[in-house]
Structure 1
Amino acid sequence: MWSVLAEAQREQHRRAEAQRRAAAAAQREHERAQREAQRAAARGEREALKAYQQGRESDAARRSAELDARVAELRGVLAVGLAGPGFSPAAGGRPAVPPFDPGPLGVPVPMPDQNWYLVPPPAGPQAYHPGARRQWEEQSAQARAAFERDWQAAWAAEQQRQHRLADYRAQYEAWAAERHRLLAGQAAQAGRLAARLRAGEAAAVAEYFEAVVDWREDWPDGFPADGETSWDASARRLVVRWELPPYEVVPPVDRYRYVRSEDREDEVARPVGRRRELYREVLAQCALRVLAEVFRADADGLLASVGLNGVLVATDPATGREGERCLLAVEVDREVFAGLALDRVAPLDCLVDALGGRIAARPDKGGTVAEVPASSAPAPAPPSPVADGEGPDLFEMDPLEFEELIAELFRRRGLRTSTTARSGDEGVDVLAEDPDPITGGKIVIQAKRYRKTVPPSAVRDLESTMRRQGANRGILVTTAGFGPGSRKHAEGQPLTLVDGPMLLALLREQGLPGRLGPAPTAAVPAQRSAPAASAAPAASVASVTPAASVTPAVELTPGQNLLLPGEEVRVRFRSDGAEADLTLLLLDADGRVRHDGDFVFYHQPTAEDGAVALRPDDRSATVRTGRLPDAVRRVAISVNLDADGDGTCADLVDPAVELACGGGRWVFRPPADPAVSAMLVAEVYRHPADGWKLRAVGQGWSDGLAGLARDHGVDVA
């Protein structure tokens, strides 16, 4: 009996131990599953976060790509116009009725395949696991239900697509019938118009070419594409008044950037200068495209010349009323226009330099130009550009005439200006108002005809006058220069200082005359006056011998340009004071480098197999224009101070850039601007008609070489 009891106790103990071990194993399995679930959840969170961030980055990249596509569309306005079909009088100018294109509605909704929903039965040891069969049956039932649900949804979507497709087809057929009817009427009207054209009826010519300029429908979004014409039969002269797109067609945002650390999307603004230049290029493309369309449609040679006024219809912020501003004007003869290769021109250079057109320097700020007259009276010739050294000597000009000149200068730059009376002007020579509704306001301008450096007291007086007048900006214009004290006082203040070289550049930009000092004598090319000098090898700008045959260097002012007499340009920079080097950039038609190899500096001294070469002293270089590829449109020559220091151009002592080419010699003295540490001093550029030319610039960057390089497309780390 005792043995039976002991065996029962042992059995009970074994069962308890087995239950304990089973419970412990279940607990371990539960903990393992819990840890695995936590790890899976963590992986899921990381993957979800990664997917979220990648989605935000992709969205920013997509939106940036849309901006790039918009800019490409704007840069291609002229190309699209040249590639499109010409005006077709037989169809009233309009293209034929396009075929029916259902687009996405023409694609059937894909129906789900039942094979996609099959759940494989359990296999191997798992097939004998308790509940495995039941779980498979439940999953199969859920899959069948999902298939039926998805099939019903797809079938409903397909039925809806077919209904929408039928409606769309009916709308197209109604539209096409109406279109055919209109085309038939336009064809008949075009026949009558052609007969009137052959009869020489003036109204028919204007009507015909108005249809020509209005017929194209492939302008980018936001472009009005609307014009009016007038015809002068005696002069065989057509004048087109064409509505231009507003400044807003150029995106203010350059790109979008997702910041992971802060989970936000940033808008990187397009630099104001680049946005304005792109807008001016778009305006020039519009003008060239309209002119090309008009001349292409003139199969009978009716037109001897065409004038074009490009106007912007916008609200005047001063009156609140809608009005027109003329942003560009050009008049061109048939023979001149026929000589252009429009598919290869730089639009702005072509409009201004080759055709003699005028375009507002600041079209986004209310700038205007004089219109081409539309009357039948002989049209006055557009003012020719003021040559260097032309016009009155500003030093000798009557003070009142000088003030009137300064008022006209800022009036042409888009400000409303008026001169003050000689007595009681309270230190104000010119009162101006910027019409911009956001950044505009009252401006006081003082004009100083000085021969010596303007003292800091004049800057302090301008600041006091500005506050007394309630103005939000003051401008001090002088024929001389400013010292460090004056510039330091103007820093951080709403004051602008315009020295003599800058004043000449502004006057020349607006077609106004003026010079500083006696008119320079024309330089005679060295090869004409002394052939032996041009034959001698030249190691640098100053190495041509003998000394008696060296052509005197011509002083250049900002904005001045000239035709290069040879294919090799030698550049040398000299100055005392702060350390500075030369840097050169090879730029395409958009003003940007094609790749990093177009950036010539002390770490990369040559480009294009030596076509542009920087010498070991980093202060002299050679540009061989004849060896540059067609894709290079400009070579920008800049001076930059040591990037590791805090020096500015004001720390350079007597800086000068000396240039020599084909016996000609020139010198440009960069302005001593304390706000910049890198300056684009000159550029060698292709002119569509004249070939390679040289231009003095003087444009600076406050963030040094990095800013200059970045603005020209160099990837700065």
Structure 2
Amino acid sequence: MSRRSAGFVNTWAEVQRQRQRQYEAEQRRLREADRQARAYQRHAAQEYKQYRQAEAARRTAELDARVAALQGLLAEGCGAPAFSASALLRSAEITPFDPGPLAHPVPLPAPHQFQAQGGWTAARRAQAQAEAQARYEHAWHAAQAAEAQRQQRLAAARQEHTRAAEAHLTEVRRHNAAITEAVDGVRQGDPESVVEYFSAALYASTAWPEGFPRQVTAAYDAAARQLVLDWELPGYDVVPEAKAVRYVPAQDQDKETARPVTQRRALYREVLAQSVLLVLRQLFAADEYGVLDSVALNGFVGAPDPATGRHGQIFLATVMARREDFTELRLARVDPVSCLTDALRGQLTARPDQLTPIRPARRPRDVGDQVVTHGGAGEEPDLYAMDPLAFEDLVAELFRAMGMEAVTTQRSNDGGVDVDALDPAPIRGGKIVVQVKRYRNTVPPTAVRDLYGTVQDVGANKGVLVTTSGFGPGSHTFVRGKPLELISGPELVDLLHRHGLRGRLGDAAGRTAPAAPAPPPADSGDHNVLGLTWSGTVALDVCALVCRGSRVLSEDHFVFFNNARTPDGSVRALTPAAPDRAALRVAFDALPDEADRLVLVAAVDPETDPHADLAGFTDACVRLLDPARAELGRLEVSDGRAGETALVLGSFRRRPSGDWDFVLGGKGYPGGLEQLVQDYGIEVE
């Protein structure tokens, strides 16, 4: 009995020891996991600290680079090429006619390619030979018809090339004649021609950094052979207020070290002197016709007058420079302030940061001849040439004119917001964050995505991106269904005018707004209409992509709800007519030579029904119509599937013969149109 009890106790004790070992092992595992977690946190904190320190160093480097660029403004500008009217002349060279694939005749079939097949008896052999002869004759007639069509298209292409060449030559001759006439006026000392010429020289210069103003009022004294002008100078904020940025780990924030006031004032004064000297250098360098003996130049900034509070021109520098004195200077090696005030005996305010004015010696209005102003109050201000901060102020003023409360943000640490606006309207109103992009090229989708992130970070009701340029399809696609609005340059100008404000894109000196798209080809009848029908109630957007292989030629060759046509007008959206629910107009012969396929896609409209998919997209077909919309044939396409919100319907593909064949699609995308277009090379997110 005692032995059995001892065995039971031993078994029980062993179980307890196993449990203890398991418990200790689990504790060791937990301690190790905790140790690893603490090590990871220390590593992550160290990496975060290093990242923030690197960002602070990067911002400091940017500040240093801006200061270095300001200090080297004159030296850099002296290396810019001098303005010359000959550079404005256009070449009359015409690109030779390139027929492309149309240069190759359609090969005729050879009789030996159509040998009789089979036939054990004389009658069967005769029948086989007759069938082979019939196939040969059919192929020969088809080739003859294709060749005739090729020759017609070749003749039409050659005629179009001739027409375009003649139009180009006419425009070149007109443009060059106008330049020659203007140059003749300069040679003769015509005041208006002289002012326009030298204003163009200042505007066309590549020496001015982005953001520097370009506003000039000028007159020419023909008797004294003197150009008198008022030129706008950059404001005090062109010199960075911060000197350096450092990261403070204890507070987890960046701290800016302010630039000493005396240092900032001295650098700004140096920038003003460099700007005045650079204007003089550009004017005398552009005087290839010898019409300037001297230049009277007054530099001003546009700002509220400290004495009256009214916005106006405050003159901070003035100089009268004779050519013979100026050409003796070695500008790349001078001290700008000493050169302006001592060598040229000009005046420069001692406290430009306080807008202490000086009195100009001679103003354009004192000349007596016609005074010409570019970019000032005498005409619509050029949004491209406007100071960036003034442009932000203008946008804020526009929002105020639209009935909202709007203020510009601080110039640093603005979190990606240029204007804070509040729409007091009930329901649809609320906080609006505005970003301003004074661009010439298309705004990239990354800027739109950044704005969306800012809207979410600050808890705004809406984000608005305002630009002087435009947006690509990727940006328009991204904003669908999001509280974002995009305002392009032309739309901005229209809004300004409708609310009593002023602004334009481009100026008379050659800076123009982005060229409007070429008009669509005339309705000559050489096109087809593609009408799409389907069953079900799902609302769809039908789009087209002009591609080379599996890549769209450009974002402008993606025809969709925010881009109704390609640049050449060969593909454009149409209003459908029953029974079609969507329609496209396609001039296949006018498609770009580099394009070899036209891809048709359909996508659910997320704004109409954000929860729909393509399960209800059935019984679909593409109707091929002539210009009068008479049906020529039908192309069946795949039905949609549950869970997918975009579908490739099919593609028209260019064959070596120049004809286009339809290839059925069927690939679906659960991520909608955004996911689909990424496969074709369009950046969305």
TM-score normalised by the chain length of structure 1:
0.38
Higher relative contact order (Cα pairs below 8 Å, separated by 6+ residues) = 2
TM-score normalised by the chain length of structure 2:
0.40
